[in-house]
Amino acid sequence: MKVYIKTYGCQMNERDSNALGAALLQRGYELTDNEKEADILLFNTCSVREQAELKAIGKVGILKKLKKVRPHILIGMLGCMAQSKGNTLLEKLPHLDFVIGTDQLQKLPDIIEMELAKREQLSFTETNTDISQSMAQHLETNSVSDFIAIMRGCDMFCSYCIVPYVRGREKSREIAEIADEAKKLADKGIKEIMLLGQNVSAFGLEQNSKTRPSESPFADLLREINSIKGIERVRFISPHPFFFNDKLINTIAECEKVCNNIHLPLQSGSNRILKLMNRRYDSAMYMEIVKKLKKIVPDITFSTDVIVAFPGETDEDFNCTRNIMNEVGFDNAYIFKYSPREGTPAAKYQDQIPQHIKEERNQILLADLKERTTEHNKLMEDRIFKILVEGPSQRNPERWCGRTTNNKVTVFDYNQSLKTGDIIEVHIDRSSSMTLFGSILNH
């Protein structure tokens, strides 16, 4: 029986879909990329912005026709939106067979068997604090990198964000269990590990305290992964600035495999808005982390998440965001237009901002970002960097590509001795706002 899985949203959803795919293969199902030939169609959904929800609902909506022609197919919605809208989805989409929320995903293979035996609409959205049976399986891959989920859920309750409601309380895994997963991936040839969580810098901390902790179990985890043979690069998303303390900063500097590219969500540069967002830091605290890291980690680059047009954001607030973004000089930024999420405090705030201002602010930040990255990439010209080879470049498969440790995509000529997973030295000849172009040295 063939299963098609479509994933919306963040890397955590990608990781979940990957683990579910591996579990289904083990049970004898086949995976397919072609939805037309699938017997079971699964949609792993996202709730973080309205657009993502509408896309998945629209997609499953049009499958009604398919089910008329092929009544034997099963359709399931999984993940965040299944968690928050479970029964409403089943009512709204009568051809939908089941919904499985974020804490019940590991039951998917059993639920499919149940559905095949007895077809009726089923909903599994109970919450669960046990993470021990977390989904640690991985599909085989040709890629050089893979993800590991180190924690799930979030306790921060930023006022705009639905994640704490749909993914529940923060639950961290044991360091030994994560290291074991990383070793298994290294044995399969994975060179780069991306550690995943909604709030990785709070990994292993008891309960989020009001004061900033001086300890950092996450730093201990980084050291552990740094020591695994075969793993060459370690990255992580996403840390929260509140838990980004000196211990973590120094650990990043000391662990040679921990990459010099940090994704540090800013969300806003205005202290007034940061307070309304319940972010627990101000722009000075954010800049202090950036400055410390810049000082001790060579060639470090930063990326971020920013929300424009949060309710009540004035031109002055927006300019604070613009200024701090230019001051940090991000090399990448995911800029989101504020999207009200039902059930979150900010959705009820006065002064929701009109769409055209959201667009305008978004465009301004994108233009600034392009200027900054073009400048930074220019500074990398005529220097030599270590590149982890990923394979043929998407644009021109005759050339190959890889990344620097600070996460710049670099394109170079293919030569026959190149293999995916090699680490090579490349001289950067020229650059654009998105890409470095170079020549391989002695390989």
Give the binding site for ligand SF4 (CB under 6 A).
Answer: 154, 156-158, 161, 163-164, 198-199, 240
Q: Which is nearer to ligand SF4, 76 or 239 (CB)?
A: 239
List CB contacts of 92: < 8 A, sequence separation 6 or more.
Answer: 57
Q: How far apart are the first and last CA of the chain?
A: 45
Q: Can you point out the beta strands (E) in 259-312?
A: 261-263, 301-308
Rounded-to-integer distance, Cα 241 and Cα 291, Å: 13
Q: With CB cut-offs between 5 and 8 Å by kind, which of ligand SF4, ligand 5AD, none does residue 338 bind?
A: ligand 5AD
CB of residue 266 to ligand 5AD, shortest distance in Å: 9
Q: Please name the residue that has the structure tokens 């993914």.
A: 167
Q: What crossing angle do the helices spanning 50-69 and 80-92 adopt, rounded to 10°?
A: 50
Nearest CA to 216 out of 241, 244, 194 is that of 244
In 41-135, which residue ranges form alpha helices assigned H by DSSP?
A: 50-69, 80-92, 108-117
Q: With CB cut-offs between 5 and 8 Å by kind, which of ligand SF4, ligand 5AD, none does residue 341 bind?
A: ligand 5AD
Mask 35-64, x = binds ligand 5AD (CB under 6 A)?
A: -------------xx---------------
Nearest CA to 24 out of 118, 135, 129 is that of 135
Is 332 in a helix, a strand, or coil? strand
Of 160, 281, 318, 412, the one binding ligand 5AD (CB under 6 A) is: 160
Rounded-to-integer distance, Cα 39 and Cα 53, Å: 24
* Size, binding site for ligand 5AD by CB under 6 A: 12
Q: Rounding to the nearest 10 degrees, give the CA dihedral for residues 270, 272, 274, 275.
A: 170
Nearest CA to 309 out of 251, 365, 383 is that of 365
Q: With CB cut-offs between 5 and 8 Å by kind, which of ligand 5AD, ligand SF4, none does residue 198 bind?
A: ligand SF4
Q: With CB cut-offs between 5 and 8 Å by kind, which of ligand 5AD, ligand SF4, none does residue 9 bind?
A: none
Q: With CB cut-offs between 5 and 8 Å by kind, which of ligand 5AD, ligand SF4, none does residue 154 bind?
A: ligand SF4
Q: With CB cut-offs between 5 and 8 Å by kind, which of ligand 5AD, ligand SF4, none does residue 151 bind?
A: none
14 binds ligand 5AD (CB under 6 A): no
CB of residue 307 to ligand 5AD, shortest distance in Å: 5
Distances (CA, A) of 300 to 191, 195, 273, 389, 427: 20, 18, 27, 20, 18
361 binds ligand 5AD (CB under 6 A): no
Q: Which is nearer to ligand 5AD, 235 or 341 (CB)?
A: 341
CB of residue 279 to ligand SF4, shortest distance in Å: 7
Q: With CB cut-offs between 5 and 8 Å by kind, which of ligand 5AD, ligand SF4, none does residue 235 bind?
A: none
The binding site for ligand 5AD (CB under 6 A) comprises 48-49, 160-161, 265, 267, 305, 307, 336, 338-339, 341
